[in-house]
Each structure stands twice: as C-alpha cells, then as structure tokens.
Amino acid sequence: MPVAVDIAQAALVTALLALVTTAILLVASPPLAWWIARTGSKWRSPVEALVALPLVLPPTVIGFYLLLLMAPSGPLGALVQAVAGVPLAFTFTGLVLGSLVYSLPFVTGPLASAFRTTDAHLLEAAASLGVAPTACFLRLVLPLHRKALLAAGVLGFAHTVGEFGTVLMIGGNIPGETRVLSIALFDRVEMLDYGAAHVIAALLLAFSLAVLTCTYRWLRLP
C-alpha cells in the first residue's frame, strides 16, 4: 500500500474513532457527572474512583482486560456475538468501546467539577417555577455550562486521538479499521521509515496544538 494512502486511511480511522467516541461520551457523561456532583449517596466515591481509574491505570492494563472481555469466549464478546452476530475484538466497534473507557475521565471529570459550581439559587428558582428536574438539567444546567461541555468534548476527542497503549493491545492493526495514526507512527518507526514517521508525527503534533489553542481561545470569549 502506498505510504500516503496508509497515512490517509489511518487519519480517517483516527478521526472517525475520536468523533464517535466523543459524541457518545458527550451524551452519556453529563448525567453521570451531574450525579457525581450532586449526590450524597455512599456509592459516590466508588463510582468516582471507577470513572477516574483510566487516569492512573497503565493503558496496557485496560487493554489486557478489554481483550479478554471482548474475546468471543469472553463475557462481553460472547454477548455481542450472540445478539449482533459480529465479533468485538479487533474491530472498530471494539476500539470505540476501549476509547469510551479510557477517555471517560477526560470528559466526565471536567464536567463534574463545573457542575459543582452551579448556583443553587438558580436550581431552586427553577424548581419553584415548577420546572421538572430533567428539563431543568437540559435547559438550565447544560446551557449554563456550555463552555465546560466544549472543553470536556475537546479533551475527550484529543485524548482519543492520542491514545496508543490500549489500541496496541486490542486493535490488531487492521488497515482501514483499527490502524490509527499513533499505531501507524509506531509501525513506521519500527520499519525505520522516518519519512512517513515525520509526516504522521507532525500531523498529530500540529493537530493537538491547533485544537488546544482554539479551545483556550473559545473559553476566553465572553
């Protein structure tokens, strides 16, 4: 395969993976973060710890367990195979699942911190006006924290683009399906193909820098 095609394909897979992961996380994380920020439940600390776990665990640990889980003989792999009739390990879907796990704290964490600062008076006012809790969350809390949502989304996206260890353990390096840019870069370096390695590394560097710069700029806008 020509190098340019290989890189383009890996870039496409990477972008798609990050987009899908971020989209799912932006839907699933806000309720979870709201719960973490507001609850008095005894389960709060364990859940918080579980969410934050990928921050401290080596990605290889996550990858190791995920592969065993997603194998056709593993609990999750067997379930998906039975329900959908497709395997989970070494597929794009499996990679999305892995990304959801390791990018979760990068989205949920900032959101929970932001939600904690919500003005209680506003919530009381909304409640006294008869607004249901769900509507209050959707129409008051989320718009109030739109900057935090943006920051969380960007962090989740960028982190998914940058992940390497877990993908190495569960991806299987399939062109057009699970070969992401970070893996393609590793491959090229192993082959001593520094030309292609430079292109991929520069791409990732420029992308990350641009995304972070834009985000900081947006966050400063009134």
Partner 1 sequence: MHSVIFKAQLLVIVPRVLLYITPLSRDRRVRLLVGIVVLSAPLCTAEPLRVAVASNFQGAFAAVETGYSGEVVATYGSSGLLYAQIVQGRPFDVFLSADQARPRTLVAAGKARGLVVYARGRLVLWANHGVPGPSWLTADKRVAIANPETAPYGRAAVEALAELAAAPRRITALNVAQAFHFARSGAADGAFVALAQILAQEISADRYWIVPEELYAPIEQAAVVVRSGAEAAAQAFLARLASDEMQQLIRQAGYR
How far apart (Å, rounded) are the C-alpha atoms in residues 201 and 73? 37
Residue 64 near residue 102, CB atoms below 8 Å: no
User: Which of 97, 57, 102 is CA-nearest to residue 74?
Assistant: 97
Nearer to partner 1, 47 or 201 (CB): 201
Nearer to partner 1, 191 or 202 (CB): 191
Residues 158-177, interacting with partner 1 (CB under 8 A) = 168, 170, 172-174
Q: Is 71 an interacting residue with respect to partner 1 (CB under 8 A)?
A: yes
Q: Is 72 an interacting residue with respect to partner 1 (CB under 8 A)?
A: yes
Nearer to partner 1, 88 or 152 (CB): 88
CB-based burial of residue 80 (10 Å sphere; 0-12 exposed, 13-18 middle, 19+ buried)? buried
Quickly list DSSP for 100-154. HHHHHHHHHHHHHHHHHT--HHHHHHHHHTT--HHHHIIIIIHHHTHHHHHHHHH
Q: Is 187 an interacting residue with respect to partner 1 (CB under 8 A)?
A: yes
Q: Is 195 an interacting residue with respect to partner 1 (CB under 8 A)?
A: no
Structure tokens given for 168: 């190495």
Q: Is 190 an interacting residue with respect to partner 1 (CB under 8 A)?
A: yes
Among 7, 70, 100, 154, binds partner 1 (CB under 8 A): 70
Nearer to partner 1, 30 or 77 (CB): 77
How far apart (Å, rounded) are the C-alpha atoms in residues 213 and 50? 30
Scanning 37-45, 111-119, 137-145, 185-193 for contacts with partner 1 by CB under 8 A, the matching segment is 185-193
Q: Which residues bind partner 1 (CB under 8 A)?
A: 67-68, 70-74, 77, 87, 89-90, 168, 170, 172-174, 187, 189-192
